[in-house]
């Protein structure tokens, strides 16, 4: 391979590397913007991002409690008896 060919090859490689770098920077900026938007939405909900895991656990516990309360309010035994009576 002659010098001219080698220089052209290096030039093309450099151009490709520059395009890849520009693409990577564009993607990085996009993801940083998305991250900031998500953090802002989390804060709008009254939660600090550092406390997100704790808040999720708290909400799961609250949801389980509310589901158990709702379950207790439904007269399942009466509904089962009524269902058997309607089938017979």
pLDDT tens-digit series, residues 19-37 = 999 999 999 999 999 999 9
Same domain, 31 and 72: no
- The answer on 61 and 75 residing in a single domain is yes
Helix (H, G, I), strand (E, B) or coil at 76: helix
Query: Are residues 1 and 37 part of one domain?
Result: yes
Confidence of residue 88 (pLDDT cuts 50, 70, 90): low
Which pLDDT belongs to residue 86? 66
77 and 39 co-located in one domain? no
**Same-domain status, 33 and 62:** no
What's the pTM?
0.62
Q: Which domain holds residue 60?
A: 48-88
Q: What is the DSSP letter of 47?
A: -
Decide if 21 contacts 29 (C-beta within 8 A): no
Count of domains for the chain: 2
- Are 32 and 53 contained in the same domain? no
pLDDT band at 9 (very low <50, low <70, confident <90, very high): very high
- 24 and 54 housed in the same domain: no
Question: Are residue 40 and residue 15 in the same domain, yes or no?
Answer: yes
Tell whether 39 and 67 lie within a shared domain: no
């Amino acid at each position: 391979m002659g010098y001219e060919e080698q220089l052209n090859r290096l030039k093309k490689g450099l151009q490709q590397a520059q395009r890849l770098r520009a693409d990577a920077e564009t993607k990085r900026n996009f993801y940083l913007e998305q991250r900031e938007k998500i953090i802002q939405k989390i804060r709008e909900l009254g939660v600090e991002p550092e406390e997100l895991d704790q808040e999720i656990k708290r909400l799961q516990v609250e949801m389980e409690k509310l589901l158990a309360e709702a379950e207790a309010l439904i007269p399942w035994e009466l509904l089962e008896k009524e269902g058997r009576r309607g089938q017979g």
